[in-house]
A and B are shown apart, each in its own frame.
Chain A
Amino acid sequence: MKLNLRVWRQKNAGAEGAMATYEVDGVSPDMSFLEMLDTLNEDLILRGEDPVAFDHDCREGICGACSLVINGDAHGPERTTTCQLHMRSFRDGDTIDVEPWRASAFPVVKDLVVDRSAFDRIIRSGGYVSVPTGSAPEAHATPVPKADADFAFEHAECIGCGACVAACPNGSAMLFTSAKVNHLNVLPQGAPERETRVLDMVAQMDAEGFGGCTLTGECATACPKGIPLPSIAAMNKEWLRARRKVK
């Protein structure tokens, strides 16, 4: 296949960026999207040009590093991560626009690479259970109803890629934050810090400059792990509950 790529190029955080156009030939439908970019980069290097910078690591859809907006969709047209998107989803002669995640809380580092450390700071503000190593009770001391365990798991699947923020017209991180809040708050192990967790994580989320939620549902549509939209309502409920309990 032969493709027209329009890629966001930006030398560094302080520089101005622009879309640049490249023609890529010899693309196999079996290539992943990132492998297609690899072949572009190989050629750019040999031509003495700067290859396109993009974040990637595991290339099996679990580390959450890859982060491209492809034709306006976070992670592209399929419900998966960019690294698991294959070129068979495109047609010969297509023009494909590739852009970085856009949100003021995710500033561009270079080309398609953005700084997602805001997510780490949200987790640091309360996305954990305070249990120093060695202090844990026997694992079977606290049974967890299967439904709760499954609910926790469904939310714990979040890979922290940031597609929810990229897809949201408000640059909101509600789906990410709610995934972690719901994962820990439903479990008995997370109960002692249930109120402070949600209050602190939401406060940090707001302080990072993410937008508010207008429930457009774009985040859940873009989420490669299928974190559901009601996750946000569940966090709102937790937050209101915590407001009542904590003075």
Chain B
Amino acid sequence: MSYLDFTVGEPIADTKAPAGPIAERWDARRFEAKLVNPANRRKHRIIVVGTGLAGGSAGATLAEQGYHVVQFCFQDSPRRAHSIAAQGGINAAKNYRNDGDSVHRLFYDTVKGGDFRARESNVHRLAQISVEIIDQCVAQGVPFAREYGGLLDTRSFGGVQVSRTFYARGQTGQQLLLGAYQALSRQIAAGNVEMHARTEMLDLIVVEGRARGIVARDLITGEISTHYADAVVLATGGYGNVFYLSTNAMNSNATAVWRAHRRGAYFANPCFTQIHPTCIPRTGDHQSKLTLMSESLRNDGRIWVPKAQGDTRPAAEIPEDERDYYLERIYPSFGNLVPRDIASRAAKNVCDEGRGVGPGGQGVYLDFADAIRRLGRDAVEARYGNLFDMYERITAENPYEVPMRIYPAVHYTMGGLWVDYDLQTTVPGLFAIGEANFSDHGANRLGASALMQGLADGYFVLPATINDYLARNPHADPLTDEHPVVREVLAETEDRISLLLSVDGDRTPDSFHRELGEVMWEFCGMARTEEGLRTALRRIPEIREEFWRRIKVPGTGEEFNQSLEKANRIVDYLELAELMCLDALNRAESCGGHFREESQTPDGEAARRDEEFSYAAAWEFTPTAPVLHKEELSFEYVHPTQRSYA
């Protein structure tokens, strides 16, 4: 049986979101949720996997509440999680500018930006909480940009019409993460968090239908150990690295969420990936990752390609009337500031027409010549100096003199483990927060909203909702490694590792990862077709089969072995990739970051098909073919319209 033989199961009936006016739902849920007596909290152990914005803030907050937190990260320090690389900023409906912003507007923008594929209740809660996040982070000492009066500065970001984005130069993610890391550090010092760095989760232990622990590998000694708890929280980020080349960190991976999926957690909307339009193009086969250039560059830079195909003249020698400022031409009112998905697709189209620039023709110009003429070089330097330096460091080209070359790259995954309003997966006791879950961004995430969601989940949502689960399931029998379920999970993990080591083939882990990435980028990237997706669904099992025949992993499992880590992650990418393609094939509409060529308007824009696809696709794992469960999305407050940026 192949993945194409998937079946449609029962729809998801209850998301646990309370009824009633949307602005009161979060209060209602918090009031209805049962509480755990403070004296009993320390008897509860909670496992948190990951220490990014979501995991770090959740671990710290749960520990402050009195729970005993056992936390894991594969990095050498919890401070290095990839949230640290976020540049632009964090949205919050503070309305400090008095420019008409409100919780409702942030809610509206997010639902609309997500192309009507997110759950309204969750999004509204996110907008409400955004305000508290800023307060919390400022109190922690996060050095946000300030005005001369000492008050916080904000800017407009990602094409929205209000200035609601708080930022710390181009390092907002770093500063917010360090805030969470410091709060976590304080709890580690207090003995409330047991921190396991350089330890990677390899599987989930589900006993009697409830998540009860994880199997993890100490990356230094190779020792495989079990850890038990009353609840497990996955804050392990997105799965963009399925594409091999992405803006994710090299070690960001999908193993935790995929293993959880195999143990019963539904995986929702796996095909929703965000391709960021402004990344530095690749330079050759050696490329190991792609680097994002902040979206803010599009505020002053003009994007263009030559009008003629195969024009290899240097940019400066191409006269003005032979340049095609295609975004300004196609979208006269938004111009270069169209949303990410639209800008990315337009770049792909002009490159597909053979008008791309730079080596391999996979790039478009982002030109600051006009801005420098208009504002002066100093003003441009003040705004973008650090980004220009970074660009020059990587490409050895001076963007003050020659236009930048940019190209879209995989950046963020809106899909993830399906969670209810409480952020609980379909496995009771297993929660997913941050990018690891699917919930708030629908089919496209707005700029500066990832940080907001990660911190909302970790600081405020999960700590309120997990109480309810623990209060209702107060006494779990203690587990030992002798329990038959645990023995089985352990044996599976050990078998997988010894199998990887024993094949001793002739191909490196990276070679398979690269091959998979090429298939995914080609067929499940910026534009998808039924034919292409079917090709991918045929190719992926072939790669997987070849992987298990020809993989070569040097060394042993009982040592620091980075090749083994990589290979083990690729095993999961090779399965997840198939589900992504299946989901993309099933969703025969275009929405947000998911563009099906068969479903477009006469102007070539994404055409949603609400009658058929106004649902979140939650996939259940079975040993044969997946089962699709639909969560119908209803829009009571923001009525679906076709997005238009022309």
Using a CB–CB distance below 8 Å, which chain A residues touch chain B?
Answer: 11-12, 28-32, 34-36, 38-39, 41-42, 44-46, 48-51, 53, 55-65, 78, 80, 84, 86, 88, 109-110, 113, 115-117, 119-120, 123-125, 127-140, 142-146, 149, 152-153, 156-157, 159-160, 183-184, 187, 189-190
Q: Which residue of A32, A38, A156 contacts B510 across the interface (Cβ within 8 Å)? A: A38
Q: Provided the pairs A30-B284, A63-B249, A149-B145 are in contact, do residues A137 and B139 lie with their beta carbons within 8 angstroms? A: yes
Closest B residue, CB atoms, query A26: B286
Instruction: Tell me if A139 and B75 are in contact (CB < 8 A).
Output: no
Contacts of A159 in B (CB 8 A): 84, 174
Instruction: Tell me if A34 and B152 are in contact (CB < 8 A).
Output: no
Best-surrounded residue of A50, A64, A132 (most CB of chain B within 10 A): A132
Q: Provided the pairs A35-B286, A123-B181 are in contact, do residues A84 and B394 lie with their beta carbons within 8 angstroms? A: yes
- Kindly supply a per-residue 1/0 record for chain B positions 116-139, scoring 1 wherever the CB is within 8 Å of any chain A CB and 0 otherwise: 000000000000000010111011
- Kindly supply a per-residue 1/0 record for chain B positions 135-155, scoring 1 wherever the CB is within 8 Å of any chain A CB and 0 otherwise: 110111101111111111000
Report the minimum CB–CB distance from B454 to chain A (whole Å). Answer: 14
Report the minimum CB–CB distance from A118 to chain B (whole Å). Answer: 10
Contacts of B145 in A (CB 8 A): 149, 153
Q: Which residue of B57, B286, B559 contacts A12 across the interface (Cβ within 8 Å)? A: B559
What's the count of A-B pairs with C-beta under 8 Å?
A: 220
Task: Tell me, in angstroms, the Cα distance from A56 to B76 when the chains sit together.
Answer: 10
Instruction: Tell me if B138 and A84 are in contact (CB < 8 A).
Output: no
Instruction: Tell me if B136 and A131 are in contact (CB < 8 A).
Output: yes
Interface pairs A-B: 7 shortest CB-CB: A143-B150, A128-B182, A136-B139, A30-B283, A153-B143, A124-B189, A136-B135
Closest B residue, CB atoms, query A63: B80
Task: Tell me, in angstroms, the Cα distance from A130 to B175 when the chains sit together.
Answer: 17
Contacts of A55 in B (CB 8 A): 76
Contacts of A138 in B (CB 8 A): 135
30 contacts between A and B (CB under 8 A): A28-B286, A31-B286, A34-B288, A38-B286, A38-B288, A41-B563, A45-B553, A45-B554, A46-B552, A48-B554, A55-B76, A58-B85, A62-B85, A64-B80, A78-B393, A109-B560, A116-B77, A117-B197, A120-B79, A131-B139, A133-B60, A134-B136, A136-B136, A136-B140, A139-B134, A139-B135, A139-B138, A143-B146, A157-B171, A187-B143
Task: Tell me, in angstroms, the Cα distance from A138 to B152 when the chains sit together.
Answer: 12
Contacts of B60 in A (CB 8 A): 133
Task: Tell me, in angstroms, the Cα distance from A160 to B185 when the chains sit together.
Answer: 14
Instruction: Tell me if A57 and B80 are in contact (CB < 8 A).
Output: yes
Instruction: Tell me if A132 and B560 are in contact (CB < 8 A).
Output: no
Task: Tell me, in angstroms, the Cα distance from A29 to B397 when the chains sit together.
Answer: 13
Task: Tell me, in angstroms, the Cα distance from A137 to B134 when the chains sit together.
Answer: 10
Contacts of B149 in A (CB 8 A): 143
Q: Does B168 contact A (CB under 8 A)?
A: yes
Task: Tell me, in angstroms, the Cα distance from A84 to B79 when the chains sit together.
Answer: 19
Chain B residues 88-112 with CB under 8 Å of chain A are: 94, 96
Closest A residue, CB atoms, query B284: A28
Instruction: Tell me if A58 and B508 are in contact (CB < 8 A).
Output: no
Task: Tell me, in angstroms, the Cα distance from A164 to B263 when the chains sit together.
Answer: 45
Chain B residues 177-194 with CB under 8 Å of chain A are: 178, 181-183, 185-186, 188-189
Using a CB–CB distance below 8 Å, which chain B residues touch chain A?
Answer: 57, 60-61, 64, 75-80, 82, 84-85, 94, 96, 132, 134-136, 138-141, 143-152, 168-169, 171, 174-175, 178, 181-183, 185-186, 188-189, 197, 220, 247, 249-251, 283-284, 286-289, 291-292, 390, 393-396, 459-460, 463, 506, 508, 510-511, 552-555, 559-560, 562-563
Instruction: Tell me if A59 and B288 are in contact (CB < 8 A).
Output: yes
Best-surrounded residue of B178, B251, B553 (most CB of chain A within 10 A): B178
Task: Tell me, in angstroms, the Cα distance from A49 to B592 when the chains sit together.
Answer: 46
Q: Which residue of A57, A137, A140 contacts B96 across the interface (Cβ within 8 Å)? A: A140
Task: Tell me, in angstroms, the Cα distance from A207 to B510 when the chains sit together.
Answer: 41
Contacts of B250 in A (CB 8 A): 56-59
Q: Provided the pairs A57-B75, A57-B251, A132-B64 are in contact, do residues A124 and B185 lie with their beta carbons within 8 angstroms? A: yes
Q: Provided the pairs A45-B563, A116-B76, A123-B185 are in contact, do residues A129 and B171 lie with their beta carbons within 8 angstroms? A: no
Report the minimum CB–CB distance from B41 to chain A (whole Å). Answer: 14
Q: Provided the pairs A50-B554, A84-B394 are in contact, do residues A64 and B79 lie with their beta carbons within 8 angstroms? A: yes
Report the minimum CB–CB distance from B180 to chain A (whole Å). Answer: 10
Report the minimum CB–CB distance from B165 to chain A (whole Å). Answer: 14
Contacts of B64 in A (CB 8 A): 132-133
Task: Tell me, in angstroms, the Cα distance from A156 to B151 when the chains sit together.
Answer: 19
Instruction: Tell me if B80 and A53 are in contact (CB < 8 A).
Output: no
Closest B residue, CB atoms, query A61: B390
Task: Tell me, in angstroms, the Cα distance from A12 to B189 when the chains sit together.
Answer: 28
Task: Tell me, in angstroms, the Cα distance from A113 to B559 when the chains sit together.
Answer: 13
Report the minimum CB–CB distance from A65 to chain B (whole Å). Answer: 5
Report the minimum CB–CB distance from B626 to chain A (whole Å). Answer: 31
Q: Provided the pairs A46-B508, A59-B288, A60-B291 are in contact, do residues A120 and B563 lie with their beta carbons within 8 angstroms? A: no
Given contacts A34-B288, A136-B138, 8 further A-B contacts (CB under 8 A): A57-B249, A58-B80, A58-B85, A58-B250, A63-B249, A120-B77, A130-B186, A139-B94
Q: Which residue of A39, A49, A86, A152 contacts B143 across the interface (Cβ within 8 Å)? A: A152
Report the minimum CB–CB distance from B556 to chain A (whole Å). Answer: 10
Best-surrounded residue of A12, A30, A34, A117 (most CB of chain B within 10 A): A30
Contacts of B251 in A (CB 8 A): 57
Q: Provided the pairs A133-B136, A159-B174 are in contact, do residues A146 and B148 lie with their beta carbons within 8 angstroms? A: yes
Report the minimum CB–CB distance from B235 to chain A (whole Å). Answer: 15
Task: Tell me, in angstroms, the Cα distance from A145 to B150 when the chains sit together.
Answer: 4
Contacts of B143 in A (CB 8 A): 149, 152-153, 156, 183, 187
Task: Tell me, in angstroms, the Cα distance from A115 to B77 when the chains sit together.
Answer: 10
Instruction: Tell me if B76 and A65 are in contact (CB < 8 A).
Output: yes
Task: Tell me, in angstroms, the Cα distance from A140 to B146 when the chains sit together.
Answer: 11
Contacts of A190 in B (CB 8 A): 141
Instruction: Tell me if B77 and A86 are in contact (CB < 8 A).
Output: no
Closest A residue, CB atoms, query B189: A124
Instruction: Tell me if A45 and B552 are in contact (CB < 8 A).
Output: yes
Report the minimum CB–CB distance from B116 to chain A (whole Å). Answer: 32
Report the minimum CB–CB distance from A226 to chain B (whole Å). Answer: 11
Report the minimum CB–CB distance from A90 to chain B (whole Å). Answer: 13
Q: Provided the pairs A35-B287, A128-B140, A156-B143 are in contact, do residues A80 and B393 lie with their beta carbons within 8 angstroms? A: yes
Report the minimum CB–CB distance from A68 to chain B (whole Å). Answer: 14
Task: Tell me, in angstroms, the Cα distance from A156 to B139 when the chains sit together.
Answer: 15
Contacts of A120 in B (CB 8 A): 77-79, 185, 188, 197
Contacts of B141 in A (CB 8 A): 129, 152, 183-184, 187, 189-190
Task: Tell me, in angstroms, the Cα distance from A138 to B94 when the chains sit together.
Answer: 10
Task: Tell me, in angstroms, the Cα distance from A136 to B552 when the chains sit together.
Answer: 52
Q: Provided the pairs A124-B185, A124-B188 are in contact, do residues A65 and B286 lie with their beta carbons within 8 angstroms? A: no
Task: Tell me, in angstroms, the Cα distance from A124 to B189 when the chains sit together.
Answer: 6
Report the minimum CB–CB distance from B225 to chain A (whole Å). Answer: 18
Report the minimum CB–CB distance from B361 to chain A (whole Å). Answer: 16
Task: Tell me, in angstroms, the Cα distance from A51 to B146 when the chains sit together.
Answer: 47
